[in-house]
Amino acid sequence: MSSSRPTHYQPLLYRTLTPNIKTTMRPLISFMHISLDGFVAGPNGEMNWININDEIFRHVEKRIGQTDTALYGRVTFDMMEGYWPTAADKPNASEHDRNHSRWYKEAHKLVMSRSLKHTERGDTTIISDKLLESINAIKARPGTEILVFGSPSATHALIEAGLIDGYWLFVNPVILGKGIPLFTGIQENVKLDLVSTHRFACGVTELNYKTLEKK
């Protein structure tokens, strides 16, 4: 795995307005950069259209410090493991690199994977089957919200299972025309409540939604 900064689904960490709400179930929040036409990557996973800068990083780090659990798909997890554990040790490490590296090593990591069945690491839990039961059991434990970083295939499975409780989207001012969509195969309407918005100087707009319970 290359030691260079990941270019696909780099985990920018954003904080919800109320990440420590004491509820019976911890919310599972999908965090994504997204194009105006609803794609999270180009046809081959391209991410070079995403705007990331110091203003966004600072905004992001307000949320990460309040979050103790991250969820990744296997591919995204492998990329994170190839960069973040040692990112702070590099001579040219940015403040964001140092902050995120420290958080990454302290956070509990959930990995959705059919091929990875077991790990000896105490800070990592593998979810390989019984998705609904496994995620709901984790939601029922004490802790903060759970952030899903990128990982479109894992996100699609979570959406299909009705497990996503909110969407934290960073809409980039670009139309891709084709690529990997955030939403696919939706069979029925999912109603959302817009909790907050924020516009960055670069033109990116943050949209923070929570899903509404079906009546």
- For position 1, what pLDDT does the model report? 32
Render the burial of 81-115: b for 16+ CB within 10 Å, e for the rest.
eebbeebbeeeeeeebbebbbebbeebbbbbbbee
- For position 215, what pLDDT does the model report? 61
- Above 60 in pLDDT, residue 65? yes
CB 143 within 8 A of CB 71: no
Render the burial of 54-74: b for 16+ CB within 10 Å, e for the rest.
eebbebbbebbeebbbbbbbb
- For position 44, what pLDDT does the model report? 93
The two structure tokens encoding residue 70: 């991250």
- For position 19, what pLDDT does the model report? 45
With respect to residue 127, please indicate whether it lies within any of the assigned structural domains: yes
Residue 107, domain CATH: 3.40.430.10
Residue 213 is given by DSSP the state P
- For position 122, what pLDDT does the model report? 80
Coil, strand or helix: which one is 34?
strand
Report d(CA 208, CA 215) in Å as an integer.
22
With respect to residue 177, please indicate whether it lies within any of the assigned structural domains: yes
- Above 90 in pLDDT, residue 18? no
Among the ranges given (73-87, 108-122, 154-168), the one the predictor scored with the smallest mean pLDDT: 108-122
- Above 60 in pLDDT, residue 126? yes
With respect to residue 100, please indicate whether it lies within any of the assigned structural domains: yes
With respect to residue 118, please indicate whether it lies within any of the assigned structural domains: yes
Over residues 163-205, the pLDDT tens digits come to 999 999 999 999 999 999 999 988 889 999 999 999 999 999 9
Residue 5 is given by DSSP the state P
Report d(CA 93, CA 122) in Å as an integer.
27
* Beta partners for residue 146, in sequence order: 28, 69
Stronger pLDDT, 19 or 184, i.e. the higher one: 184
- For position 20, what pLDDT does the model report? 44
- Above 60 in pLDDT, residue 16? no
Please give the tally of structural domains in the chain: 1
With respect to residue 125, please indicate whether it lies within any of the assigned structural domains: yes
- Above 50 in pLDDT, residue 114? yes
Report d(CA 29, CA 155) in Å as an integer.
10
For the segment 153-172, the average pLDDT, to the nearest whole number, is 95
With respect to residue 60, please indicate whether it lies within any of the assigned structural domains: yes
For the segment 41-62, the average pLDDT, to the nearest whole number, is 92
With respect to residue 76, please indicate whether it lies within any of the assigned structural domains: yes
With respect to residue 149, please indicate whether it lies within any of the assigned structural domains: yes
Report d(CA 142, CA 25) in Å as an integer.
9
- Above 80 in pLDDT, residue 214? no
What mean pLDDT is reported for the chain? 86
13 — pLDDT class (breaks 50, 70, 90): very low
- For position 3, what pLDDT does the model report? 35
Give 44: exposed, middle or buried? Use CB within 10 Å, 0-12, 13-18, 19+: exposed
Q: Residue 78 belongs to what domain range?
A: 28-41+52-182
pTM: 0.83
